[in-house]
Structure 1
Amino acid sequence: PTSHTVLPDSLGGIIHISVRGSFLDADHPATGSILHACSQHWRNRALLRDVAARQSRTTHGAAEAVDACVAFAEALSDAIEGAKRSEVLRDRIEPLAGAIGPIMAGSWRGMHRRDVRSSGYVAHSLEASLWSVGRAGDFKEAVLLAANLGDDADTTAAITGQLAGALYGASGIPDTWQTKVAWSSRIRTMVDGLMT
């Protein structure tokens, strides 16, 4: 199905957007918005929440995807601010869409590996990432736990890497992994620009 949205552009004109597929698919909201989550506004929580929601809606407009992006951006921000892992992974009780509320409230705690899913559904990816970081003692272990869940492993490992990277910093990423990153000096420059 195709939906049509009309938005004002920055010059006062009108932009017509045609969206095909699962953009607003409430039955299967995908992980893309948390995969691309950015906590650039970590010092201003109201702005962070607003930007995270708007950023999600550009590609993933389902309520679960939007709320997952906002909740994940807040956890990332706590980690960037230097909060301890227990504080970053604390139970967050707030009204969030669908499965996102219970996940952020800690339903992932105590799950057995066989029960953790990595399917590409936003709730599964969020849950798997929190579970991986919660079970691991460092960046490498968290990312490997996520990657070894299978299914949509690359996405889940990337989401996990964001949170684990924010918790453990660049020094927590194995040197052997860092040396294999293409354009690493360019990426470091961009990150430094985002953090100032």
Structure 2
Amino acid sequence: MQNKNHLQNILYGVVVGDALGVPVEFKSREYLKQNPINTVQGFGTHDVRGGVWSDDSSLTFCLAESINEGFSLNQLAQKFIAWKVYNYWTPQGWVFDIGISTRIAIEKLAEGISPEMSGGFNENDNGNGSLMRILPLVLYHKDKPIAERFEITKQVSSITHAHLRSVIGCFYYLEFAKQIMEGKDKFEIYQDLKKEVTDFLKSLHINPSEIEIYNRLLNGNIYELEEDKISSSGYVVHTLEASIWCLLTTDNYIDAVLKAINLGKDTDTTGAVTGGLAGMLYGFETIPKFWITVLPRIESINKLIYQYKKETMEIKGFISYRYVRTDNIDYEGFSRDYTPVDYQTEATFFLPNDEGKNVLVFQLQYPKYPHNVEVQYPFDWEFYSEIKERNIDSVTIFVNTITFLDDNQVIFTGSFANCHTTDEYYDTFNFSAYFKHDNIKSIVRASTVYSDTITDVSLDSSFLKKIKP
């Protein structure tokens, strides 16, 4: 039975294909004929250990995380900046691979240029830098009308690659992915998209020459071509053609991804783009376990997947939830009175309010870099850790949406924390937010991640007095 955890299939499909291709990026097809990739290898082109992924996966994770958090183009742009500047979502703490167009676009974003205008609009700006990271977007827009899907795809591609050719490539790729999710056969999808994509693009009165550039996909049978007719450069058209060709000329994840990588040149991206669709088509379970276990930051990847799984299986919200009804709260001792409920890599805590109504408490983990989104509830406070004293200034809670369905149901989405600290070991900030039906009542628990150990913070009633909604 096909694995329906689509984000798991996508993320591991992409990151494994990417990691397999990293050591031989830029190697020729002739070299790989003599030295083919058939499993995970280390070092090579970028001198990194086996399993390390590149910018392809880092930016894919940024998009997946943004979708989990409710999706905002500006928010996604800030994550891209954080990746380049603060090494966010990097496998080992630094950026070792970045395309020219992507670098220029992110530098523009950092200078304050809007994400709609940051990407390259010239014909020479049609590398595969948006195609390589776009696949999670299918989870966000799959149920929307085709015109809206195209527009959203255009917006997300244009952050780094705004030329129509790149947008069309991303659009075709996501339409293929959408039909995989619908359970269709890959050859049926390929034939259906010839008409569907062509007719839609013509309805937009797009320059026919731009559509013709994709003729081998839209007006032919690319799977009938011999390997020497398939290019694997960093050009978006070449990458898309190569990935579809590899998918249609193999019948499992392993063969599809290895075939893509052994085409040479832009091996990590061809592997990632092929791997994403192959992961969706064949499922996470078909990826060799060793190729997965060597990946860095598996726990972080699984957390993304777990958050999406909760979203799709529970209430279409971001955070899982439960409710408790009690009558009183001892504010003098509330740091001792919470009840933990394990949710694998995170916990949800519940505290009663003073009026005995149902309350909802979340515990979330946030990156240390700032997010440029609307501030609705700022808090400035300090706390003391038993390990060492840390002064946390400018702690800001960003709330995108709080939806009150009735007295007993609250959907809370899109939260981030902007934390500035002088402690170089201060990696993440955790807090539990305490919600009533009318507003945020208080923050009731805080903790830090220090040397990979979660340290609870002792709080007393004076903590409440420091909060200034």
Instruction: Identify the TM-score tier after normalising by the shorter chain.
Output: 0.7 to 0.9
Which stretch of the first structure deviates more once superposed, 135-144 or 22-31?
A: 22-31
| Structure 1: stretches of 5+ with no match in the other structure | 1-8
In structure 2, do the counterparts of structure 1 residues 114 and 28 end up closer, same or farther at CA, with 3 Å as the change threshold?
farther
Taking the TM superposition and a 5 Å limit, the aligned residue runs for 1:172-191 are: 172-191=286-305
TM-score, normalised relative to structure 1: 0.81
Name the counterpart of 1:161.
Answer: 275
Task: Give the deviation of 1:104 after TM superposition.
Answer: 3.7
Of 35, 39, 44, the match for 2:144: 44
Task: Give the deviation of 1:86 after TM superposition.
Answer: 2.1
Contact 2:252 2:278 in 1 (8 A): yes
Name the counterpart of 1:122.
Answer: 236
Name the counterpart of 1:131.
Answer: 245
CA distance in 2, matches of 1:194, 1:54: 22
Deviations 1:129-184 (A, max 9, x none): 00000011100100000000001111111000111011111112112212122222
Task: Give the deviation of 1:69 after TM superposition.
Answer: 0.6
Of 139, 149, 169, the match for 1:68: 169
In structure 2, do the counterparts of structure 1 residues 160 and 24 end up closer, same or farther at CA, with 3 Å as the change threshold?
same
TM-score, normalised relative to structure 2: 0.36
Contact 2:257 2:275 in 1 (8 A): yes
* Alignment-mate amino acid for residue 33 of structure 1: S
CA distance in 2, matches of 1:52, 1:16: 19
Which stretch of the first structure deviates more once superposed, 73-82 or 38-47?
A: 38-47
Q: Percent identity?
A: 27
Structure 1 segments of 4+ aligned residues over 6 angstroms from their partners:
none
Task: Give the deviation of 1:23 after TM superposition.
Answer: 1.3
In structure 2, do the counterparts of structure 1 residues 71 and 192 end up closer, same or farther at CA, with 3 Å as the change threshold?
farther
In structure 2, do the counterparts of structure 1 residues 102 and 187 end up closer, same or farther at CA, with 3 Å as the change threshold?
same
Deviations 1:68-92 (A, max 9, x none): 1111111112112322222333342
Of 188, 194, 204, the match for 1:87: 188
Structure (1 or 2) with the greater helix fraction: 1
2:264 counterpart SS class = coil
Name the counterpart of 1:3.
Answer: none
Q: Over the residues paired in the alignment, what is the CA RMSD in angstroms?
A: 2.6
| Structure 2: stretches of 5+ with no match in the other structure | 1-73, 76-111, 313-469
1:89 counterpart SS class = helix
CA distance in 1, matches of 2:227, 2:302: 34
Contact 1:29 1:62 in 2 (8 A): yes
Task: Give the deviation of 1:187 after TM superposition.
Answer: 1.5
CA distance in 1, matches of 2:308, 2:128: 23
In structure 2, do the counterparts of structure 1 residues 106 and 184 end up closer, same or farther at CA, with 3 Å as the change threshold?
farther
Task: Give the deviation of 1:128 after TM superposition.
Answer: 0.1
CA distance in 2, matches of 1:107, 1:28: 27
CA distance in 1, matches of 2:307, 2:214: 31
In structure 2, do the counterparts of structure 1 residues 44 and 17 end up closer, same or farther at CA, with 3 Å as the change threshold?
closer
Contact 1:32 1:60 in 2 (8 A): yes
Determine whether 1:24 maps to 2:121: yes
In structure 2, do the counterparts of structure 1 residues 43 and 17 end up closer, same or farther at CA, with 3 Å as the change threshold?
closer
Of 151, 156, 159, the match for 1:58: 159
CA distance in 2, matches of 1:101, 1:52: 21
1:149 counterpart SS class = coil
CA distance in 2, matches of 1:44, 1:52: 12
- How many residue pairs end up in the alignment? 183
Name the counterpart of 1:4.
Answer: none
Name the counterpart of 1:5.
Answer: none
